[in-house]
A and B are shown apart, each in its own frame.
Chain A
Amino acid sequence: MNQQDVYALDIDSAVLELGDGESKVRALDEVSMAVPSGEFVAVVGPSGSGKSSLLAIAGALTRPDSGTVRVHGTDLATLSRRDTTAFRLRNIGFVFQSGNLIPALTAADQLRLAAKLAGNGHVDPGPLLESVGMAHRAKHRPGELSGGERQRIGIARALVNNPSLLLVDEPTAALDRRRSHEVVQLLADRAHSENVAVVMVTHDRDVLEHCDRILEMVDGRLGEPALVH
Chain B
Amino acid sequence: MFLALRELQFARGRFTLMGIVIALISVLVVLLSGLSSGLVNHGVSGLMAMPVTNFAFDGGTIKDNAFSRSVVEEDQLAVWQDAEGITDAEPMGVNIVNGVADDGTQIDLTLFGIEPSGFLAPTVSSGEPLGPLDGIVVSEPLRDKGIEVGTVVTLDRLDLELTVVGFTEGQATFGHVDVAYLPLDTWRLMAAGLAEPGAPTQAQVDGMDFPYSSVIALLADDGADVDLAAIDADAGTMTMSLSESFNSSPGYEAETLTLSMIQIFLYAICALVIGAFFTVWTIQRTHDIAVLRAMGASSGYLLRDSLTQAILLLFGFSALGLAVGVGMGVAMPDAMPFDLEPVPIAVSTALTIGLGLVGAAVAVLRITRVDPLRALGGQR
The chain A residues found within 8 Å of chain B, CB to CB, are 52, 55-56, 59, 61-62, 82, 85-86, 88-90, 92, 94, 96-98, 100, 102-105, 109, 112-114, 116-118, 141, 157, 169-170, 173-174
Contacts and interface: CB of A to CB of B under 8 A. Distances in A.
A113 B3 CA distance: 7
A82 B379 contact: no
Interface of B: 2-3, 6-7, 9-11, 287-288, 291-298, 301, 372-373, 375-380
Contact of A82 (B287, B298, B372): B298
B288 A102 contact: yes
What's the dominant secondary structure at chain B's contact region? helix
Contacts of A62: 373
Contact of B294 (A61, A98, A170): A61
A126 to B, nearest CB: 18
A43 to B, nearest CB: 13
Nearest 10 Cβ contacts at the A-B interface: A89-B296, A104-B10, A104-B7, A88-B296, A52-B377, A100-B291, A52-B376, A104-B6, A61-B372, A117-B297
Contact of B295 (A52, A82, A114, A174): A114
A118 B296 contact: yes
B296 A97 contact: no
A94 B375 CA distance: 10
Contacts of B372: 61
A125 B268 CA distance: 45
Contacts of A118: 296
B3 A98 contact: no
Nearest to A170: B377
Given A85-B298, A88-B296, 15 more contacts: A59-B294, A61-B294, A85-B297, A92-B296, A94-B294, A94-B375, A96-B375, A97-B379, A98-B380, A100-B287, A100-B375, A116-B2, A117-B296, A118-B296, A169-B377
A103 B376 contact: no
A27 B1 CA distance: 39
Nearest to B290: A100
Contacts of B287: 100
A176 to B, nearest CB: 16
A98 B375 CA distance: 11
A143 to B, nearest CB: 10
B294 A104 contact: no
A116 B375 CA distance: 20
Contacts of B376: 52, 55-56, 61, 96, 169
A155 to B, nearest CB: 13
A98 B379 contact: yes
A103 B295 contact: no
B301 A117 contact: yes
Contacts of B9: 104
Nearest to B296: A89
Query: Which one of A55, A59, A90, A104 has the highest number of Cβ atoms from chain B below 10 Å of its Cβ?
Result: A104
B4 to A, nearest CB: 10
A85 B301 CA distance: 12
Contacts of B3: 102, 104-105, 113
B2 A112 contact: yes
